[in-house]
Structure 1
C-alpha cells in the first residue's frame, strides 16, 4: 500500500529512454520513441543507446552515467537479463521510477523468477518504483506523456483505465476512439512486480483529473491490499471492473463477485459496456431504486425488455392515478399501464407527452424509451422530442433505437446530448440495472449495521482446546460430535447429540432417550456418510440401535477399511415443523482467504447450486446482504405459510464469521443441514477441516483486516470511573451521533471548523466504518453493546497510502474533558501510530482552540502557523524522536 514516487511515473520532469541497438521502424523501441518524442512532453527526453548517435531525432547517450541530468523516469526496452544492472545504475543516478517494456515469455520460468527478484533487490535501496516487466506502457495526456506501443491516436478525457492485459487496453482505446471517448490515464501493469493494481488505485483515487476508474483484471495478488485500495477509491469516485468469469486456477467467480460488492465496485460483462457505463453512471445520483417505466411503440419489444428487467431483479414501476389517466388517450383501452405501448404509429408528439407524464410520477425511478423502426414515424424526430423533454427534467432516461441503419442517426443525436442510448432494449435495461447495482454497492459501503440482538461472547477457550486436542492426536478433521461442540462454543444452536464409542454403548444411551432416534456413524474421513449407509433414522428401541450400529461398522470396514471411526452419535428425532433445510459454512477462497457461504441445503446442495459467498468479517447487515443473493432467500423472506427467523439466521452467519476470525486453524466448516423456522435455527450435522499454522509464517488469512480486539482495554479516569477503550465499530454510528448532539455548538465548531448541529449519516459512517488496514479510531465507551453503549470520546487517525504520515482528529464529551480523557486518547493513538511504523502525526487546529493546542504541546507536537489561513495552526509530531509512556 504505497504511492511513494508514483509522481515520477505519471508526471516526470525528465525521461531516459534506455534501448538497444535495433532500429527497425516496426519494433517496440521505435514505436515507443516515436510516441514519446511526438507527445509534446515538456521536459528533456534522453535516449541511452550505446551504438547509436541519435534516436527519433534526439541525441543519444552512451550509458546512464553520461546523462547530463537526473531522469525522474526511465523507460527500458532492453532484454530482461540486463535490467537488474540498469535499475541499479538508475538508482545511483537518482531516478525514481522505471517502465519495463517488452516480453518476458522467452525465458525459462526459474530464470525469470530469479531475474524478477534481482530487479526488486536492485530497486529497493533507492525506493525506485517499477512498472512491469512486460508492460506496454502508459498514457497521461495532461502531462503530454505517451509511453505506449499504441499506433492509434489518443484522445484526452476524464476516465482512467488500468489493465492487466495489453490487448484489452488496445481494444478499449480503439472503441474509445470510435465513440470519441478519451482517457485521463491508460496504464498497462504487466507483471506487477512492484507497482500493482492497488498502488495505482490509491494514486488515482487522489487524482482529480480521473473522474472515474475502469479496471480490467484477471487475478488479484494481495487481496487485502487490493480491497483496501479499491474500497477507498470507490468511496471517492466510480470504479468499474471487467473480469472474465472463468479463469484457470482462480477462486470461484462468486467469490470475486462478493469481493467486488464488498469494495463498492461495479462489475460489467464486456469492453463495450465498460466504457458505456462511465456515461451512464453520471445519472446514478438521480436513481433511488429499481422501478422502471418502459415506453415503446412495440409491445413485443416491451415484453422482451420486461423479461430482461425481471432477470436482473428489477421491477416495473406502478403508476399513480394521475399518470394512468394522462396516458389513457395515448394507449389502447385494454392495455396495461406499464409497459406503455404507444402503438407502431406513435410519433414524436406521443412520445413527448407520455415521457412528460412518466417523468413527473414519483413512483418512477427511471424510464426506458424504445423506438423501433417504423415507416409511419421518424426515429430522429422522436429522439429530438425526447431531448426536448429531458431539458426540463433531472430524471434518468435511457433510450433504445434498434437498427444499425435506421436508428444510427437518432442514437448519434442522443449521444451528443449525453443521453444514454443503445441499439438493443436488453442492453438499455442492463445499463439501468447496473446503475441500481452501483447505488446498492455504494449504500453497502456506508450502511449502518444494527446492534447484535444479544451479548455474543463465544467460549474461545473451549473452542481452541478442542482444536488443539485434535491436532495433538494427529487429526486434521473434527468428527461430527466435536464439530457440533465447536458450534456450541460459538452460540450456534445444535440438535441434542450424544456420543457412543461402540454399538453396545449406543444401545445403552438410546435406552435413556425419548424414541425414536437417529443414529450416525462418526467417521470424519468420509466425505458423505451415505457411502456406508451411515445414517439411520426412526430407530424405536435400544436393540434396533445396537443392530444398526453393528451393521454400519461392518459396512465401513468393508467399503472404507482405512477410514477412521470415532464411534456413533445419537440424536432424538426432532419434528421439522416446517423448517427450511439450509447450509452454511467456510471454504477456501483462493487469494481471498477463507470465505463464508450460505444457501439451500440438504442432500442435493451441490446440484441445486444456490449458494452465495461473502468475505469475513461480517456484521448483521452484511450477513443479510449475502443471504439476499440466493434464490431461497425470497422464500425465507416472503412465505406466509412457512416463516423463517431471518435475524437468527443472520446472527448465525455473524457467529461463523467470528469463528473464522478467532480460529486460525479452521480451514473448512460445512453445516448441512441447518434448519430454520419461525423459532430460530438448529444445526443437525457439521464437518470441520483443520490446517495447523506453519511455524515461522505470519498469519494473515483474511482479505479484510478484522476488528483488532487486542487494542481493547479498560481505562480509569481521574475520578476513578472506568470506561472501555476500543477500536470503533460500524455499529457505533448512533452512539457517535448522540455524542455530537450532547456537544456544545462552540466545541463542534472547534472540532469541525464550521457550525454544525448534528452529524449526518454520511459523515458519521465515514468516521465509524473504517478500514483497519489503513485507519484507526479509538472510542471510549460505557457498558453495553456497540450501538447501545454511550460514547464519551473518539480519536481518529488516517494514514496516507505510504503509511508515513497520518492525520488525527478528536472529540471529547465536555463533561469528561477535565478528567484526562483527551490526554489518554491522544497517547493511545500515538502509541498505535508508532507501532504501525508511522513517522509523523499531524493535524489542523483553530487558533482559538487553546485547550487542544495546550494538549498538543504537552504531547510534544510542534505548532506552526498556516501560511494561507492566519486562524489555523498546523501541529506536527515526529514519532521517531518521541518516546511517550503509556498512561
Structure 2
C-alpha cells in the first residue's frame, strides 16, 4: 500500500547501506528526501583544487542522484512531490511543458517558474498549431502558453487539450483554470478527467479561485490528477518530475563498454603503478612528482603530454632541443603542490637561452623563498597550442562519509574563479559520465561545437574512476588542465598532481566507496569440456545486448526449468526487465556469466548465467542457473555453481538455497554432487547448502 516514501534526514550513518537500500526501492517507489543543515561549514583548505570543489552538500546531491532519490528544499515540496509521483504513473521524458490557460497572467507566472527551475516551454508543432487554429477563436495566443481566452467554456478547453495532448514536442501538459464569466470549473474538470485517461504524458492542473473551484479540484484529485491552487507550484513540480525521470534513466540506461572495463589491465601496468607508489612512500613523500603522476595516468589509458626531468640547466636545454620548440619548463618539488602559485612555470620558451634563464630563475626563486629542499629540478615538455581547445579539470577527493568522489569542470589557472564543476560517485560508466558532464555550464559549449569527441571524454572519465577505485592509496588527484581540442591530440593532460595517504595509515580505516565497485576478484578463466576457453565473471550493465542474444539461444524447456513457467522472448528481453538483471547491486546479489570471446571476430557471447540473491532479513541467498542449450553437458552449470558457492563463502553467507522443479533432474544431480541437501515434496525439490 506504499506509493511514495518521504524522508526527513539529518545525517546518514552507513552511506553504502543507505544507497544500496535506496537503489533497490527507487525504481518502483519514488523516494523524496529533505536534508537539514544544507548550509556548508567552513572546511580545511585542500591540497588539490578538487578538494575544495567537492563540497559536502554537493557530494550528498551526487549520492542521491546515484541511487534515484529526489531531494527537495521545502517541506511543502516534500509532500507535494510525494503526491504527484504517486498519482502520475506516466513520467515526463523531458522538461518541455505545454500550458493551456484561460488567463494570460497565470500562464506567464507558470512560464517564469518553469524556466527558473530548469524547464522550458514546448514548441508547438505545425500539426498542433493547425489543429488549434481550426478549433479556437482566431485571436488565441498562437503559441505556448496556449491562451484560449477568458470566455473559454468546457468545450473550448476540451478542444484545446485534445489538440495539444499528443504534440511530440511536449513532455507534459498543465491546464490552468481561472474563474471568469463563462468558466465552469466543475464541468471543465469532468472533461479533463476523461481526457487524462488517454493522455500519453503526465497531466497537471491548476484550478484557481478558492471556494468557487473546490468541486472541480475534488473531481481532479479523485481522478489521480495532481491539482494545485497556484500554477507556478505546478510548473516547479513538473520540473521535479522531469529530474526524477532523468535520474532514473541515467541509472538504467545501457552504457557503452570502455575497453574491457579495465579488468584485464596487464601486469606491466600494475607493476608500474605499484612501483611509483612504493618509491614515493619509501622516500617519505606523500606527493608524486609530475612525471610519476603522468605515468600513472598513462597506465590507465589517460593521455598525458610527454615530460622530461632535468636537474641542471644544461640538461633542460638538451631536453628542449630533443622535444622541439617551443617548450614549457615547470618546477619539480616534493613539497610545493601548485606550481603557478609559486612562480614555478615558464611558457612558450623558444630557444636554449630562454630555457637556461627559466631554469635559473625558478631555482633561485624557490630556494630563496622555500629552501633548497623545495627544488629538485624542472620538467621540460612541448608547448601545446591551446587556441582551439578548452581547458578542463578532472580529479578526485576523499569524502569522509561517501569515500572517493570524482570532480569534473572548467579548468585552467582560473578554476577557482570560474566555479563551474560537478561531482559524482565512482565507479562511473559512460552514461553516468555523460550526466556528470551535462551538469556543468561547459556542456552547452562542448555540444555547440560538433568536433569535440564527447564519447572519448566519457571514456576518459570512466578510466579515471577505475584508477580512483583501484588505487585506494591515492588521497587526492588533480588533472588541471586537461586540454580538450576538436582535432589531434583530442584529450591530453598537461599537468597532474597526485597526493598519497601516508604509509602508516591502515587503508581499512578509510571510508569505503559508497557504491560497491565491480568485483573483479571473481573473474576466472576456465575451459569447457571440449576445450573452449571462457571467462567466468560478474555481470555488468554493459552486458545487456549480450543477454538479449543469450535469451535467443534458449529452448522453451530451459526457460520453463528456470522460471517455473513459460515466458515469451519479447518479455524476457524487455529493457525494463533486463535492467534488473544487468544493473545489479553487488552488495545485494551476485550474477556470474560465462563469457566466450571469439579471437577472430572480436565478438563476445554469453553462454550461461548464474545468480546469487540475498534473502531479506536472513544471512543466506538463493541461487539460480541458466545455461544455453548448445552449451549444456559441458560442465558449465557445475562450475558456475561452484563459483557461486565460493562467492557465498567470501561474502560471509551462512547458507545457499534453491527451489528446483521435480522434472529438472540434471540440476538436482549437480546440487547433490556439490554437497547440497535435497528435500523432495510433491510441489518440487528444495536444495540447501550450509556454508562453514
Partner Cα separation in structure 2 for residue 438 and residue 545 of structure 1: 55
Out of 614, 635, 640, the residue aligned to residue 799 of structure 1 is 614
**SS of aligned partner of 1:294:** strand
Q: 1:348 to 1:527 in 2, by over 3 A?
A: farther
Q: Report deviation, 1:527.
A: 4.5
1:335-384 deviations in whole A, cap 9, x for unaligned?
A: 44222122334343322321122224344331112234546646556445
Match of 1:669 in 2: 477
Q: Report deviation, 1:526.
A: 3.2
**SS of aligned partner of 1:337:** coil
Match of 2:51 in 1: none
Q: 1:594 to 1:249 in 2, by over 3 A?
A: farther
Matched, 1:221 2:13: yes
Matched, 1:303 2:303: no
Partner Cα separation in structure 1 for residue 497 and residue 598 of structure 2: 34
Unaligned runs of 5+ in 1: 1-208, 881-887
Q: Report deviation, 1:620.
A: 1.5
8 Å contact from structure 1 (residues 739, 792) kept in 2: yes
How does 1:658-737 map onto structure 2 within 5 Å?
658-679=466-487, 680-692=490-502, 694-695=505-506, 697=508, 701-737=512-548
Out of 25, 37, 43, the residue aligned to residue 233 of structure 1 is 25
8 Å contact from structure 2 (residues 90, 202) kept in 1: no
The normalised TM-score by structure 2 is: 0.90
Matched, 1:837 2:652: yes
**SS of aligned partner of 1:368:** strand
Partner Cα separation in structure 1 for residue 89 and residue 387 of structure 2: 45
8 Å contact from structure 1 (residues 664, 701) kept in 2: no
Partner Cα separation in structure 1 for residue 661 and residue 407 of structure 2: 49
Matched, 1:591 2:401: yes
8 Å contact from structure 2 (residues 91, 245) kept in 1: no
Matched, 1:273 2:77: yes
The normalised TM-score by structure 1 is: 0.71
Q: Report deviation, 1:482.
A: 1.9
Q: Which shows bigger deviation, 630-639 or 339-348?
A: 339-348
8 Å contact from structure 1 (residues 556, 563) kept in 2: no
Partner Cα separation in structure 1 for residue 360 and residue 213 of structure 2: 76
Matched, 1:782 2:596: yes
Q: Which shows bigger deviation, 577-586 or 328-337?
A: 328-337
Q: Which structure carries more relative contact order (alpha carbon 8 Å, separation 6+)?
A: 2
Match of 1:364 in 2: 170
Q: Report deviation, 1:248.
A: 4.6
Partner Cα separation in structure 1 for residue 598 and residue 391 of structure 2: 34
Out of 78, 88, 95, the residue aligned to residue 290 of structure 1 is 95
Matched, 1:246 2:58: no
Aligned residues: 667
Q: 1:519 to 1:394 in 2, by over 3 A?
A: closer
Q: RMSD over aligned Cα, in angstroms?
A: 2.7
Q: Report deviation, 1:761.
A: 2.0
8 Å contact from structure 2 (residues 337, 497) kept in 1: no
Matched, 1:469 2:279: yes
Asked which structure has the greater CA Rg, the reply is 1
Q: 1:532 to 1:834 in 2, by over 3 A?
A: closer
8 Å contact from structure 2 (residues 140, 149) kept in 1: no
Q: 1:692 to 1:816 in 2, by over 3 A?
A: farther
Q: Report deviation, 1:795.
A: 0.7
Q: 1:625 to 1:723 in 2, by over 3 A?
A: same
Q: 1:783 to 1:393 in 2, by over 3 A?
A: closer
Out of 221, 237, 248, the residue aligned to residue 442 of structure 1 is 248
Partner Cα separation in structure 2 for residue 345 and residue 834 of structure 1: 73
Matched, 1:352 2:163: no
1:839-877 deviations in whole A, cap 9, x for unaligned?
A: 2211122221111122222223233346xxx45333222
Q: Report deviation, 1:291.
A: 2.8
Match of 1:69 in 2: none
**SS of aligned partner of 2:475:** strand
Partner Cα separation in structure 2 for residue 395 and residue 353 of structure 1: 17
**SS of aligned partner of 2:660:** strand
Matched, 1:745 2:548: no
Partner Cα separation in structure 2 for residue 265 and residue 249 of structure 1: 27
Match of 2:48 in 1: none
How does 1:426-505 map onto structure 2 within 5 Å?
426-453=232-259, 456=262, 457=265, 459-505=269-315
Q: Report deviation, 1:236.
A: 3.4
Partner Cα separation in structure 1 for residue 161 and residue 329 of structure 2: 66
Q: Report deviation, 1:767.
A: 1.8
Q: 1:715 to 1:214 in 2, by over 3 A?
A: same
Match of 2:633 in 1: 818
**SS of aligned partner of 2:388:** coil
Q: 1:392 to 1:813 in 2, by over 3 A?
A: closer
Q: 1:648 to 1:696 in 2, by over 3 A?
A: closer
Partner Cα separation in structure 2 for residue 784 and residue 237 of structure 1: 41
**SS of aligned partner of 2:633:** helix
Q: Report deviation, 1:584.
A: 0.7
Out of 569, 582, 590, the residue aligned to residue 768 of structure 1 is 582
**SS of aligned partner of 2:631:** helix
Q: Which shows bigger deviation, 505-514 or 844-853?
A: 505-514
8 Å contact from structure 1 (residues 218, 247) kept in 2: no
Q: Report deviation, 1:611.
A: 0.9
Partner Cα separation in structure 2 for residue 226 and residue 618 of structure 1: 19
Q: Which shows bigger deviation, 275-284 or 649-658?
A: 275-284
Unaligned runs of 5+ in 2: 44-54
Match of 1:873 in 2: 685
8 Å contact from structure 1 (residues 586, 668) kept in 2: yes
Q: Report deviation, 1:300.
A: 4.0
1:375-434 deviations in whole A, cap 9, x for unaligned?
A: 664655644543354356464211224466766665455334432122332221121122
**SS of aligned partner of 2:542:** helix
8 Å contact from structure 1 (residues 293, 364) kept in 2: yes
1:219-262 deviations in whole A, cap 9, x for unaligned?
A: 21211111111111213322221114335589522211111111
